[in-house]
Amino acid sequence: MKAEQFPCPCCGCLTFPGSPADALAYICPVCMWENDLFIAFNDEPSDENHGLTLNQGRANYRTLGVCDPRLAPYARKPFPKELP
Ligand SMILES: [Zn+2]
């Protein structure tokens, strides 16, 4: 049985076990973005991500494969089934 996975708001990979709206502080294993339910805009600094905005995290993921370069040692590549 395949569990439904939801897209990460940062990298878009299907890594969330539930809706991001319910996944308080869930950390995406691919891009290391920590789900932040308290930001209203993509340009708002996220306290859960050391002040990074979602747009900055997305840009970092596109170039570095991780939302914050300091977290690169903990990130992993997406599994084929997680690709958006
Ligand atoms: Zn992600």
Residue 41 lies in a domain: yes
Q: What spacing in Å lies between the alpha carbon of 13 and ligand 1's midpoint?
A: 6
Residue 84 lies in a domain: no
Distance CA(3)–CA(24), nearest Å, equals: 19
Q: What spacing in Å lies between the alpha carbon of 50 and ligand 1's midpoint?
A: 16
Say what the pTM is. Answer: 0.92
Residue 30 lies in a domain: yes
pLDDT the model gives residue 26? 96
Residues spanned by the domain of 44: 5-77
Q: What is the pLDDT of residues 28-59, one digit of tens each?
A: 999 999 999 999 999 999 999 999 999 999 99
Distance CA(28)–CA(35), nearest Å, equals: 8
Q: What spacing in Å lies between the alpha carbon of 81 and ligand 1's midpoint?
A: 14
- Region 69-78: mean pLDDT is 97
Tally of domains within the chain: 1
Q: What spacing in Å lies between the alpha carbon of 29 and ligand 1's midpoint?
A: 7
Q: What spacing in Å lies between the alpha carbon of 1 and ligand 1's midpoint?
A: 23
Residue 82 lies in a domain: no
Distance CA(39)–CA(17), nearest Å, equals: 20
pLDDT the model gives residue 3? 65
Residue 54 lies in a domain: yes
Residue 83 lies in a domain: no
Contact between 50 and 60 (Cβ < 8 Å): no
What's the mean pLDDT when you consider all of the chain?
A: 94
What 8-state DSSP symbol labels residue 58? H
Q: What spacing in Å lies between the alpha carbon of 19 and ligand 1's midpoint?
A: 13
